[in-house]
Structures are given as structure tokens and as C-alpha cells.
Amino acid sequence: MWVLERSIDIFINLIETLILVRIFMSFIIRDLSNPLFNFIYQITEPILAPFRNLINKLGINTGMIDFSPLLAFLFLDLLSYILRAIL
């Protein structure tokens, strides 16, 4: 069981780290043809897109700030907590 819990923690931490890297890279790299940025974008977009759509559907005007990473972090932490409780 410990191995499964640790694997879930590592996976969620990896996703959170990639989201943070994407946030910082968005300030530095504006070229989507950059292979590293493109890879990180492809990995994190399926996680961030539903939260971005949720914000838009709720009609919340966030201006130029994208709060989808914040919601993704909260969701991933909640998911980690639930999975730990189940295991």
C-alpha cells in the first residue's frame, strides 16, 4: 500500500510542478514552437482546460489573470487527500 500511496503522491507532485513550470515559462517564452514549452503545454492543458472552461461558464471575469492553475492545484490536493483516505 505504501508504494501505491507514494506513487500517487509523486504523480500529483509531478503534475503540479509541470503546471508551475508552465506558469513561469509563459512569462519568459512566447514561442509555442519551442519544443520544451510545447511538451509542457500538451501535458498540462488537459488538466487546466476544464477549470478555464468552468471559470468562463460561471461568467467570472478574471481579466488577464488565469486562475485555472489555482483551481487545478486545489483539485489535485483534494484528489490526493481522497485517494489517501481510500487507501
pLDDT tier for residue 67 given thresholds of 50, 70 and 90: very high
Residue 11 has pLDDT above 90, yes or no: yes
pLDDT digits (tens, 9 = 90+) for 13-47: 999 999 999 999 988 877 778 888 889 999 999 99
Percent of the chain whose predicted confidence (pLDDT) is above 90: 63
The Cα diameter of the chain in Å comes to: 44
Alpha-carbon dihedral of residues 53, 56, 58, 63, nearest 10 degrees?
Answer: 140
CA dihedral sign, ordered 52, 53, 59, 64: positive
Which pLDDT score, from 0 to 100, does residue 47 have?
A: 95
Residues 6+ apart with CB under 8 A from 5: 83, 84, 87
User: Where is average pLDDT lowest: 7-11, 59-63, 66-70?
Assistant: 59-63
How far apart CA 16 and CA 22 sit, in angstroms, is 10
Q: Which amino acid makes up residue 41?
A: Y
Asked if residue 25 lies in contact with residue 40, where contact means CB atoms within 8 angstroms, the answer is yes
